[in-house]
Amino acid sequence: DVKVTQSSRYLVKRTGEKVFLECVQDMDHENMFWYRQDPGLGLRLIYFSYDVKMKEKGDIPEGYSVSREKKERFSLILESASTNQTSMYLCASSLGQVAYEQYFGPGTRLTVT
Amino acid sequence: GNSVTQMEGPVTLSEEAFLTINCTYTATGYPSLFWYVQYPGEGLQLLLKATKADDKGSNKGFEATYRKETTSFHLEKGSVQVSDSAVYFCALSGRTGGFKTIFGAGTRLFVKA
């Protein structure tokens, strides 16, 4: 059974803290993604990666960075957390690009106070 | 650029009622179309997909037909169950969108016993 896991289900951080969200997939997928999910806005792509050590900006990369040192792991970093980054963060992976489904983790609900 | 518009929710139905969730898209070329479902407390999972015009995707009693002439991919189910209560996302991906998957805002469905 395919699996994408995320390091935390719930996280509470203070403004200005550096925050790490970890994602691991066990399917040997090339592609990995980070989204944030907000009510009424659907999913918005933050960053994605098509290969180890490779990253591409998505639609809303400001305030975020990523790291992919190993194929199975994709980390999202909030350099200095702000309250407007309070959201649900979803990680996903896929085998290919167009027409390939994405497999999602359960999400991390991050609250920044 | 590519975009997806789906009907706003919430949609509330009684068990065994007929379900339609409308989805229309804007894209150049021939994107692939998807419906994902998110059950409470979980990440998204693929419900069905269609990769070319007039294709019908189906799964778990749900169906959607890729209509290029109306740029639509409406989700239907003949008889909903309480267990279908979830948020449904329409999505597309295509080469002209840089291979990124674009998600609609999501439609929440409540099914009453």
pLDDT, tens digit, 9 for 90 and up, residues B48-100: 999 999 999 999 999 999 999 999 999 999 999 999 999 999 999 887 666 68
Residue A90: pLDDT over 70: yes
Which residues lie closer than 8 Å to B42 by C-beta, 6 or more apart?
A: A106, A107
Place A99 in a pLDDT band, splitting at 50, 70 and 90.
Answer: low
User: B49, exposed or middle or buried, with CB in 10 Å at 0-12, 13-18, 19+?
Assistant: buried
What does the pLDDT look like over A1-31, one tens digit per residue?
669 999 999 999 999 999 999 999 999 999 9
Query: How many CB atoms are located within 10 Å of the residue A18 CB?
Result: 10
CB pairs under 8 A between A and B: 50
B53–chain A Cβ distance below 8 A for any pair: no
Query: Looking at residue B1, what is its pLDDT?
Result: 81
Question: How much is the pLDDT for A32?
Answer: 94
Asked if B87 has any chain A CB less than 8 Å from its own CB, the reply is: no
Mean pLDDT of B29-56: 93
| Confidence at residue B96, expressed as pLDDT on a 0 to 100 scale | 66
Which tokens in the block code for residue A65? Answer: 């960075």
A34-85: pLDDT as tens digits: 999 998 888 999 999 998 988 999 999 999 999 999 999 999 999 999 999 9
pLDDT at B98: 64
Q: How high is the pLDDT of residue A98?
A: 65
Strand-pair partners of A19: A78
Six token digits for residue B58: 């189906």
* Six token digits for residue B19: 């379900």
pLDDT, residue A4, reads 95
Q: How confident is the model at residue B97, as a pLDDT?
A: 61
The mean predicted confidence, pLDDT, of chain B is 93
From the list A58, A92, A98, the residue facing B32 with the nearest CB is: A98
Higher pLDDT, A1 or A95: A95
Q: How far is A17 from chain B (nearest CA, A)?
A: 26
